[in-house]
Amino acid sequence: MGKHGAFPVLRKKLDDAITYGSKKDALRLAKEGLRRSIKAGLAGEEEYFRGQVEIVRGRYSYAMEHFDAAIRHNPFDGAAYNDRALCMVELGVLEGALEYFDRGIEAEPDYATVYHNKGWLLNNIGRHTQALACFEKTLELEPGRAVTYDNLADALLNLGDLAGALQSYKKVLKLLKPGSCRGIRKNIKQQMRTIEKLLSDERDNHAKKG
């Protein structure tokens, strides 16, 4: 079995559903993965998808037990470490979550998602510069990852880099599939208008001082 699990395409669809889709779609895909892994007799995959079902249902402690079992079956499954870490975030165990993100990176250093989610957590706890490094690594591994550009923009905003944030938001809009994620597009365009106004005000202030 490869590092990314026996069902990498299904895992990717599930990740996309959790990020941009609906809870209903995510649960359907998690259950599909569970059925397929049981049929194939893949115990590690079965535990992984059982964990996903529990995440969608909001039962994070139970999910962690399944991810621990998945890791025992496949110690190189970066996604299992990553998703265990996300459960810990939901339960408020933030430093422990960072440890598990790092364990996931050590286990599967070419798995972009674990860098992204570590960056997301670092950004949310005020460690914006460290978050940038994680997002840059994510995009090195997966250049077309729209959600990472979205989070990168937020980190740049937190660091006061308005121009950089604006460019990152523009990249998100280019990468999102046409006709998809309308709510996300609307929010990004609104954020871009706000940044453009701030940049315009900055230019006006500089011109007055000059």
Output the domain CATH number for residue 134: 1.25.40.10
Would you say residue 118 lies in a domain? Answer: no
Task: Please report whether residue 117 resides in a domain.
Answer: no
User: How far apart are the C-alpha atoms of 73 and 84, rounded to whole Å?
Assistant: 15
Domain endpoint, select from 65, 84, 109: 109
Whole-number Å distance between alpha carbons of 136 and 35: 36
Q: CB of 118 within 8 A of CB of 105?
A: yes
Whether residues 54 and 142 share a domain: the answer is no
Please give the full DSSP string across 141-185, using - where no structure is assigned.
H-TT-HHHHHHHHHHHHHTT-HHHHHHHHHHHHHHSPTT--HHHH
31 pLDDT more than 80 = yes
Count of beta carbons in the 10 Å neighbourhood of residue 204: 10
| Residue 24 domain boundaries | 1-109
Domain identity same for 138 and 208: yes
- Interval 68-127: pLDDT, tens: 999 999 999 999 999 999 999 999 999 999 999 999 999 999 999 999 999 999 999 999
pLDDT score, position 2: 43
Residues 176 and 209 in one domain: yes
Residue with tokens 């975030």: 89
Which of 117, 124, 52, 61 lies closest to 88 in space, CA to CA? 61
Domain membership of residue 186 (yes or no) is: yes
Separation in Å, CA 201 to CA 15, 20, 45, 50, 117:
39, 33, 53, 52, 34
User: Has residue 188 been placed in a domain?
Assistant: yes
Q: Are residues 141 and 105 in the same domain?
A: no
Share of the chain above pLDDT 90, in %: 82
Q: For residue 2, give the DSSP letter.
A: -
Q: Is residue 92 part of a domain?
A: yes
Question: Is residue 130 within a helix (H) or strand (E), and if so which, with residue range?
Answer: helix 128-141
Residue 58 burial (C-beta neighbours within 10 Å; 0-12, 13-18, 19+): exposed
In a shared domain, residues 27 and 71: yes
32 shares its domain with 82: yes
pLDDT category at 210 given cuts 50, 70, 90 is low
Most trustworthy range by pLDDT among 9-23, 119-133, 171-185: 119-133
135 and 83 within one domain: no
d(CA 45, CA 63): 13
CA-based R_g, the chain, Å:
19
User: How many domains does the chain divide into?
Assistant: 2
Domain assignment of residue 181, yes or no: yes
